[in-house]
Every structure is written in structure tokens, then in C-alpha cells.
Amino acid sequence: MTEAPIDSGGLVFQLIPGGCLQGRIRPPGDKSISHRALMFGALAEGETRIEGFLEGEDTLATLAAFRAMGVEIGQPAAHELVIQGVGLHGLKAPNEPLYLGNSGTAMRLLSGLLSGQTFDSVLTGDPSLSRRPMGRVTVPLAKMGALIDSNEAGTPPLNIHGGRALTGCRHRLLVASAQVKSCLLLAGLYATGQTSVQEPAVTRDHTERMLQAFGYPVEVADGHISLQGGGRLRGGALQVPADISSAAFFLVGAAISAGSELLIENVGVNPSRLGVIHILRLMGAEVEFRNPREFGREPVADLHVKASTLQGIRIPREQVSLAIDEFPIIFIAAACAEGETVLEGAEELRVKESDRIAVMAEGLVELGISAQATEDGMIIQSGAFSGGRVHSHGDHRIAMAFAMAALVAKGPIVIDDCDNVATSFPDFVKLASAAGLRINTKASAG
């Protein structure tokens, strides 16, 4: 056992062991789609109405950024937005740096979008975001003619110089990243000629689908995504499905806890996001799609899951990029699966909101699980969660993953530094409690 982490202040999750998950739940709107719907609605011509918008800290930071650039955005009801689009060239210079909190998605996508503006801008974030590498967007953007200054480590703040003429380029990504791909496509809207991005592996394609929903032609073929600059976006109505990354915590919680049976409603089941489903099914989880349908161009279904006997697996490399945000909770499933689970090819996890390989391995060991971090993944042996105290390191997905471990733990689990759960899942505690998780919160005295 390692020494218990020191409470660094903030919200604390306290979990009583045992229980199961039952009933019907609807997770919040998809964070990735909410970001993009807001951005494209602002850049479109005419009015855009969005239902199901995630009102989390990350997406609200994006909303504030566009308001600071002169976009009129109404909020007539909870999770609804009415955006008066200003067109691709209608944004105004902000009066101060745009603060994006903990949102890597917002910073990387806005880097591309703002590179094509006539004005200068500065992107900043919280301490966690300020440590995240941005060279993977600033370097290819420079190839297109953008000029972006960062600090010596290639991290924020980013000073974006406007008034630069962008030229479309062919980009071959070395690391599969939907954020980098989306950044370059957004810059391509302002570039002369064609911008093309080649992916080494499939990543989420919400940007491509969203562009097409707003009437902007995009070509997708053989791992290449291409568009011509100089087009127009047209406003309309959009409905944001529930976030599969948020649903994943409940999928695993129900799969690992005896007596569980849960229906998770209105979940986005975009094929580029189904890695977590494929991996859980390979492990033996019983996950069924019900009532498949579409919200705009995004496929949606209700997910039915019940308690299952899981088996350890070697996670297929082709599924890694399709489940990159869900690995914290997949690691919890692996600890409950019989035998050994091996993950390789997931070095991207080390540059998320935290180093998710190191932080999850540390927490698993603290709770009695044999977990060995590797350079690009982890090796986990089946075991019993003992209970104990872990630290989320300010990472929302780490906090929610360890909360679900309490369903099968022998003793109470305490999770420090859980404030950032609000970035993606503001009502997590309320929804999880209603489903059967024995969770309480308190303000830290630290």
C-alpha cells in the first residue's frame, strides 16, 4: 500500500461500499458535441437553436469566450441555447484574454478558429490546462501560415496573432487526436485552397458530422478528411445526445455490481466513440442497444446493461483511440475482471487533464489492486477493492471512476479534489445516488 494522498482542498467524495445500480437514467449532453454545436452556431449565418447542451464548466467557458467575441447567445431554458450567428468573419476582438478553465477541447479547437481572424487573441486556462502540450496544434497551424506564441515548454497561454493569410495544407497526424484534427479543419475554413487531414487511426468524427449538419461540404475517404476554405455555415436546429463518456461510468458500475440492471437513455452511439462498448463486450459485459434513432446526423440509442461476469483481455489497439476518454472507468472494470487485462498504445492518456496512466495506477494500488503502469498503458490483475483514500489530481474522470469502484469495495472509499467533476457532469452525485451509488460529498477542511 502506498501512503494516502494528502487532501489538497476542494470537494471530497465519500462512498459507502456495496449496493447496485437500478432503474432508468439520462446522463448530461455530450461535451464534445456541445462544444462544437456552440462554435459552429456562432460562426453560422442565421439563428441556431440547441437542445440538450451540456451546462458544465468546460462548455460554459466556451460559451463565455464567444460572448466575449460579440456573439449573442440566449439561454431560454435549462440546457437550451439560441445563438445569433455572426458568420465566419463576424467575430470581434475580445477585450481581454479568453479563459477556458480546464477545457483542452476548447483551447485546441479555438486555436485553429482564431488563427483565421483579423484580430489578436490570447487563450488561457487553469493550472491543469496550462500544463498541457499545445505543440501538436501550433506546429501544423504554423505550416498553414498561423503565428502562435506559447511558453518555452509549448504550453499555454497561447498568443494568437491575427491578420495572417492561411493556406490549406495536407496534414499527416502522427498521433490520433480528434482535437488536433478538428483544430486544423477549423483553420481550414479560413484558408485558401484545400485542407486535408490524414489520421493514423479513427477518432471521433463529430466535427465532420457537425460541419455537414451546418451545410459545409466535407470529404471523408480512406482516413483522409478534407474541405475547401471560403464556404459558409448555415444555422438551424440541433439536439445534443447524452454523452457516452458520462454513460460509461454507469455501464461499468452496473456490469461489476451484482443485482444491477440499468437503462441509460438517449446516449450518442457514434461509431467513432464506441470503443468502450466494444471493450466491455469483449470482457463479457451484457450491453444492449435499444430504440436506435438519430439526432440530426448523430446516431442515438438507449443502452441496457446488467451485472455480468467479466474476463481480463488484451485490449485491441484499434479500439484505443475510440475509447481514449473512457479508460479510467475501463481500468475499474479490468480490476473486477477475472485474470489479467493489458492496455498498450495509449500514451495519449499521459497528457489528459492528468497523467491518467500514473494517477489511475497509483489509485488502484492504494485500493488494493495490482496495477503496473507502463509507458503507453497498464497491466491490471483481478483483485478486490479494499477501500481507502485516493486523490483525483483534479481530473473529473478519475474521480467518477473511483466512485464506481465503491460498488464492489470491502470498505469505504474517500476521493479528494473532486471539484472538476462539474466540468463534464455537474449532476453526477445526484444522478448516481438516484441509481443506487452510496455517495456523499463534503467540503474539504484542507
Residues annotated catalytic, as ranges: 325
Beta bridge partners of 85: 46
The sheet with strand 413-416 has its strands ordered as 388-391, 413-416, 11-15, 439-443
Q: Are 345 and 317 in contact (CB under 8 A)?
A: yes
Q: Are 244 and 265 in contact (CB under 8 A)?
A: no
Residues 6+ apart with CB under 8 A from 67: 73
Alpha carbons within 13 A on the beta-carbon side of 431: 22
What are the grid coordinates assigned to 261, written together?
440492471
User: What single-letter amino acid sits at 144?
Assistant: M
Please report the beta strands in 269-351, taking only residues with DSSP state E, as ranges in sequence order.
286-295, 298-306, 340-343
Torsion angles phi and psi, residue 430, rounded to 5: -65, -45
* Beta strand 72-74 pairing with 224-228: unpaired
User: What single-letter amino acid sits at 41?
Assistant: G
In whole angstroms, what separates CA 213 from the centre of its chain? Answer: 21
* 111, 219, 284, 363, 375 from 182: Cα distances, Å: 10, 14, 34, 33, 27
Q: Are 85 and 120 in contact (CB under 8 A)?
A: no
**DSSP letters along 203-225, please?**
---HHHHHHHHTT---EEETTEE
Beta bridge partners of 23: 262
**Whose grid coordinates read 451509488?**
437
Q: Cα dihedral angle (176, 177, 180, 183), rounded to 10 degrees?
A: 120
Of 58, 13, 64, the C-alpha closest to 42 is: 64
Burial of 406 (0-12, 13-18, 19+ CB in 10 A): buried
Q: Are 371 and 363 in contact (CB under 8 A)?
A: no
Rounded distance between C-alpha atoms, residue 34 and residue 333, angstroms: 28
Rounded distance between C-alpha atoms, residue 203 and residue 319, angstroms: 10
